[in-house]
Structure 1
Amino acid sequence: MERIYIGMGSNIAAPNQQLCNAIEALALVPNTTVACVSTFYQSDSLLPGQPRYTNAVAAIDSNLAPLDLLDALQAIENNQGRERLERWGPRTLDLDILLFGEHLIDKPRLKVPHYQMQLRAFVIYPLAELAPADLQLPNGPILRVLLTTCPFMNLERIRFT
């Protein structure tokens, strides 16, 4: 089994609930186990005028091939009302494969490590809750170093029951 980190985000249609539903759906993916989930965070949208996002990272263990897992994640997104109308538009749910074991993946449908994850506080800080600080991304950076170079940037930890 591979340890895989999944970035999760939502900024419409009850974002906290969207992430909770996504975690439940991840647990139902064949040959996959949800190992742990980070704290939920709120972050500003990368584009002005959009609602804030709720973000988290899930660590899963899976025997699925990368593209099979991507298909499963996109099915979860679709089941939760994801519409792909514009690249950076608001979304009910966004599930991204951040890291897939120690693999570098460069396919038309999937790039791992995820594009620019090292620049996004809403990815790095939740990831750091789950992964060892000395984790080295397959493309070189070490998580501990990324934390020092990626400012917290208006992240807010969400506490809810």
Structure 2
Amino acid sequence: MKSLIGLTCVIALFAVVLTAEEKKDEEEVKVFKRLIPADVLRDFPGMCFASTRCATVEPGKTWDLTPFCGRSTCVVSEDNPPRLLELVEDCGPLPLANDKCKLDTEKTNKTAPFPYCCPKFTCEDGAKLEYPEVGKPEQSEAGEKDKKN
């Protein structure tokens, strides 16, 4: 009986340690969220179409975006009339190229559930990752010339 109690305590302690590690990893991952118009099939007007699953999804339900690292939720807007939207959560844009920061292939698990599948980077001391500004389209030089003419 004592060994059973001891085993139970060890399992409980292990579960606490794993939960703490998961929370630590989750805190390190930035989750980017955006609302986009949902894909809707004409035969299923009140449901979102999840192209990564080739399935319809009811409002309020979530699906993973495998083979991509992310998840989406079907949402009804507060507009009048209401529209279906897709709340996309993913890892966001990749950082700008930096010779002092590398993708950490040992810590990155592309097959893990979201958000643990997000890429992890390791930088040399003093180096910091920089990310492109989200929402601002980058313009080419040709685009700038067209504006001037």
TM-score (norm 2): 0.27
Of structures 1 and 2, the larger Rg is shown by: 2
Higher relative contact order, structure no. (Cα contacts within 8 Å, ≥ 6 residues apart):
1
